[in-house]
Structure 1
Amino acid sequence: MDLIKLSEPEFQVDNLAAFQCALLNKEVGYVGTYIEEFKSLLGDYLNVGNLGLFSSGTSSIHLALLAIGIEPGDEVICQSLTFAASANPISYLGANPVFVGSETSTWNMDPDFLEEAIIDRKNKGKRVRAIIPVHLYGMPARIKEIVAIGEKYGIPVIEDAAEALGSFTAEGMCGAFGDFGILSFNANKIITTGGGGALITKDKLVLEKACFFALQAKDPAPHYEHSRLGYNYAFSNLNSVLGVQQFGDIEGKINRRRRAFNHYFERLSAIEYISFQKGIIGDFSNRWLTSILLPDASTVNELKQYLERNHIETRPVWKPMHIQPLYKNCAYYGDDFEVSLFEKGICLPSGSGLTIDQLERTSQAILDFCRHV
C-alpha cells in the first residue's frame, strides 16, 4: 500500500527546455533571466512593486529585521502558534521575542492580545520594534486590524505569508498588507523551487538595503570592501526556472488544496467532536494544510497511530513558541488557546497532487477510527 504523504511536491517534469536554456547560458548563479521573470510573475500576482528573492523565508524575515534596524535588547512581537522560523531570526540579532496568542476564528494572532502586549511592554520601558503575524496553514489572519495597531503605535509589521501564497481578504493578497511580506518556496509549499523565499517591501530603497545584506554586504569598490556584516542569502537562477514552471499552474494547485479541505469537511464534519479551522467569512484561504481538532490529546495520538498503520502521514499542529524549551522564558500575552490547538489538532494530507481516491482513503480511515472511539 502506497504512503499518502502530508504535502508532497507536485512537478511537471516533461519540459526540461528551460533548464537546458539556463545551463547553456551559464545562468546558474544569483543573476539570470528566470530570476527576473519569477519576480515579475510574483509581483504582478500579488500587485506589489518591490519584491526580492532570497534563499529562504527565514532569511527573508532576517533581512526585514535588519532593514528595520533591530538591535540587541530590542523586542519583537511574534505570533506564538507558528513554526520556529518565524521567531528564530529575532534571536539571530540578539533581540527578544515577545509572543502573542491566537484567536478562535483563524487560529492566528489575536489583535486584542497584541495591543495588550504593546501597551504593557511600553509601560515596562521596553523597546518594541516590529510585529510578526502569521497566516497559519494559509488562513488569513485579522491582518487589517493588526496593521492598524502597528500604525497606531508606529511599529512596522512583518507579515509572514510563508504558507499563504494565493490567500486573500477583500482588501488584498496575503503578504501585501504589512510594511514587509514574507513568502516561502520550500518543498512542501504551494509553489516550490526546492527552497527559497521572497521579501516584499513598500519601499524600493529598503529592498535595496535587504539585497545589500543578502549578498555579503559588499561596499561599492573595485575590490571586495566590507564595512558591515553580510550574509549569503542569494537565490539562484536555476531555482527560478522551477518557480516559473510551477507558477503556470498556481491556481490549479490552490484549487486542489481547497478540494482536499472541502472533501474532508464534507466527509468528517458530521462527526460532532471533529472541528476545522474556520476563518473569517469573505476571506479566501489557499488551505495549504487542512487541520482538524479532536476531543483530547490521547484521541489525537491514537488517530495518528491508526493512520500510520494505514500508511497515511499526518503532523501535529505547530507547538506554540511560548512553550518551546528555547523560548519558554519569553514574555507571552494570551489565554493558551493555541496550546489546546497543539494538543487537540492534527494536520491531514493536503498536497495538491493528492487524488480523489487518496482523499477518500484518508477520510474513510478517519471515519472507521471514529466508529471505534
Structure 2
Amino acid sequence: MRSQDHDRIYLSPPHLGRHELNYLHKAIEDNWVAPAGPNLTGFERDICEYTGAAHCVALSSGTAAIHLGLKLLGVGPGDEVLCPSFTFVATANPIVYLGASPVFIDSEAETWNLCPERLREAMEDRIRLGRRPKALIIVHLYGMPCKLREILAVAAEFCVPVLEDAAEALGSRYEGQPLGTFGTVGVFSFNGNKILTTSGGGALVTNHADWDQKARFWATQAKDPAPYYQHSEIGYNYRLSNLLAGIGRGQMELLEDRVKRRREIYGWYQQHLNGVSGLSFGPTEPTGGRSNRWLTCVLLNPAETTVTPERLRPHLETRNIESRPLWKPLHLQPLFANAPMYGGEVCTTLFEQGLCLPSGTAMQDSELQRIAEAITGAF
C-alpha cells in the first residue's frame, strides 16, 4: 500500500522560476504565438552564447535534432551508423527513420559511455566486412562526459563524422569546453525532465553556416524560395514554437544554478549513503570532465547485498518516491534484436544493477533525508 503521508517526490520534474513568465507575457502581448518569433531567435542566440557554437536551430525535440543531424552527415538507406547500446531509444530511432541500420557498441565501466576499445574493434570489423560506417553517434549519458579524447581520436583515424548526443548534458563540460560542441553536429533536448526544459523541445548546433541553413530548411517543410508553396525535397514540421522558446530563454538564465544544485544533490547522496553496504555511485567523471549530474545513479552489487534495483524501486514507491532503472541497453530491445553488437557485458551489468534516484533541483534537504531514510530502511 502506498503511503499518503507525504507528497510524491518525482525523479526529475520541471523546475521553473519567474523568468519564464516575462518572455511568455511579452510574446502574448505582441501576438507572437506562431512558430517563429523573437523568443525563438533569442533562445537560439542564448544557446550559442552559452555553448560557443556558431549556429543553433531550435527544434520540437532532441529526436528531431538527431534526425536532421544524421541527414546533414549524409546518412541514408543501406548505411550503418555506430551507436552506444546504453542509451535511450531516441538516440537510435532516427537511424532507422533514414533507412540506415544501427551497429551497437558496449560501454566502459567508468563513465558508462561508449567504450573506445570496443569502438575501434567495431570500426575495424565493419570495414573488413565492406561496411564502412557512415557516422558515429556518441552520447553523454546522465550528463556524464564520455572519454572524448580517445573516442574522437578513433573517429578521426577512420574518417567517420561524429554526431554528439548531448541531450542529457547541457551544462556539462570537457576540458573546459561545453558538451555538444565536439562533434560535427551537436544535439540537446529540453524535454520536461531535463535540466533545462521548454516543456518539449530540442536543438541542433553546428559551426557550419550552410548546415544551419539546411537544417532550418528541412525543419520548416522544405519550402523552396518561391512566392507559392513549392517543394523539391521532403521536409518536416520540426521547429520549436515561439512560446516554448520563451520558457527556454527564462530557463537559460537559471542554468548554472541548476547545474550547481544537481551536483550538490549528488554530493548529498554520496555523503549520507556512503556507509550502505553494497551500494555505490556512478558514473565517474573522466579526467578533465565536469558532469551536470542530471540524474544521480547508484549500483547495487549482488556480491555484497541481497537488495536489487527491483526490490528497492517498489520499496521507494510505497513511500511515494519515484525512482527508475537505468536505460535498458538497445541490443536487448526487441526492436533491435538483429542489430550487430560489439561487447555487451558492461552495459548489461549496469542495467541489471543500477537505479536512478530523485534529482530534481527544487528538492529540499528534508526530502533528500526522507529518500535516504527510505533507502537505508530497505537494507
Give the shorter-chain TM-score range: over 0.9
Find the counterpart in structure 2 of residue 99 from structure 1. 104
1:60 maps onto 2:69 in alignment: no
Find the counterpart in structure 2 of residue 131 from structure 1. 136
Q: Does structure 1 conserve the Cα–Cα contact (< 8 Å) formed by 2:190 and 2:201?
A: yes
Which of 315, 326, 342 is equivalent to 1:333?
342
Find the counterpart in structure 2 of residue 300 from structure 1. 309
1:221 maps onto 2:226 in alignment: yes
| C-alpha separation in 2, matches of 1:146 and 1:257 | 27
1:246 maps onto 2:251 in alignment: yes
Give CA deviations for 1:122-180 in whole Å, capped at 9, x if unaligned.
11011311111110000000122222222211111001000000001115111110111
Find the counterpart in structure 2 of residue 3 from structure 1. 8
Identify unmatched segments of 5+ residues in structure 1: none
Find the counterpart in structure 2 of residue 258 from structure 1. 263
Find the counterpart in structure 2 of residue 29 from structure 1. 34
Structure 1 residue identity aligned to 2:345:
D
Give the deviation of 1:241 after TM superposition: 0.8
Q: Does structure 1 conserve the Cα–Cα contact (< 8 Å) formed by 2:300 and 2:307?
A: no
Structure 2 residue identity aligned to 1:200:
V
Which of 346, 352, 359 is equivalent to 2:355?
346
Find the counterpart in structure 2 of residue 289 from structure 1. 295
1:172 maps onto 2:181 in alignment: no
> Does 130-139 or 278-287 show the bigger shift?
278-287
Give the deviation of 1:95 after TM superposition: 0.2
Give CA deviations for 1:250-276 in whole Å, capped at 9, x if unaligned.
111111111111011111122241111
1:79 maps onto 2:88 in alignment: no
Give the deviation of 1:29 after TM superposition: 2.1
| C-alpha separation in 2, matches of 1:78 and 1:221 | 39
Identify unmatched segments of 5+ residues in structure 2: 1-5
Give the deviation of 1:365 after TM superposition: 1.1
Q: Does structure 1 conserve the Cα–Cα contact (< 8 Å) formed by 2:139 and 2:164?
A: yes
Going from structure 1 to structure 2, the CA distance change for 1:132 and 1:15 (only over 3 Å counts) comes to closer
| C-alpha separation in 2, matches of 1:163 and 1:225 | 37
Which of 318, 323, 328 is equivalent to 1:314?
323
TM-score, normalising length from structure 2? Answer: 0.95
Give the deviation of 1:14 after TM superposition: 7.7
Going from structure 1 to structure 2, the CA distance change for 1:200 and 1:15 (only over 3 Å counts) comes to closer
| C-alpha separation in 2, matches of 1:47 and 1:289 | 25
Aligned residues: 370
Q: Does structure 2 conserve the Cα–Cα contact (< 8 Å) formed by 1:51 and 1:207?
A: yes
SS of the aligned residue for 2:347 comes to helix
Find the counterpart in structure 1 of residue 3 from structure 2. none
1:358 maps onto 2:363 in alignment: no
| C-alpha separation in 1, matches of 2:164 and 2:146 | 10
Q: State the identity as a percent.
A: 45
Find the counterpart in structure 2 of residue 369 from structure 1. 378
Q: Does structure 2 conserve the Cα–Cα contact (< 8 Å) formed by 1:50 and 1:204?
A: yes
Q: Does structure 2 conserve the Cα–Cα contact (< 8 Å) formed by 1:163 and 1:288?
A: yes
> Does 166-175 or 55-64 show the bigger shift?
166-175
Q: Does structure 2 conserve the Cα–Cα contact (< 8 Å) formed by 1:164 and 1:286?
A: yes
1:230 maps onto 2:235 in alignment: yes
Q: Does structure 2 conserve the Cα–Cα contact (< 8 Å) formed by 1:144 and 1:177?
A: no
SS of the aligned residue for 1:158 comes to strand
| C-alpha separation in 1, matches of 2:74 and 2:23 | 39
Give the deviation of 1:15 after TM superposition: 6.6
Which of 134, 149, 156 is equivalent to 2:154?
149
Which of 145, 160, 164 is equivalent to 1:140?
145
> Does 168-177 or 132-141 show the bigger shift?
168-177
Give the deviation of 1:193 after TM superposition: 0.5
Give CA deviations for 1:72-92 in whole Å, capped at 9, x if unaligned.
110000111000000000000
| C-alpha separation in 2, matches of 1:253 and 1:304 | 26
SS of the aligned residue for 2:267 comes to helix
SS of the aligned residue for 1:182 comes to strand
Give the deviation of 1:99 after TM superposition: 0.4
> Does 329-338 or 7-16 show the bigger shift?
7-16
| C-alpha separation in 1, matches of 2:81 and 2:102 | 5
1:161 maps onto 2:166 in alignment: yes
Q: Does structure 2 conserve the Cα–Cα contact (< 8 Å) formed by 1:10 and 1:353?
A: yes
Structure 2 residue identity aligned to 1:287:
R
| C-alpha separation in 2, matches of 1:59 and 1:15 | 24
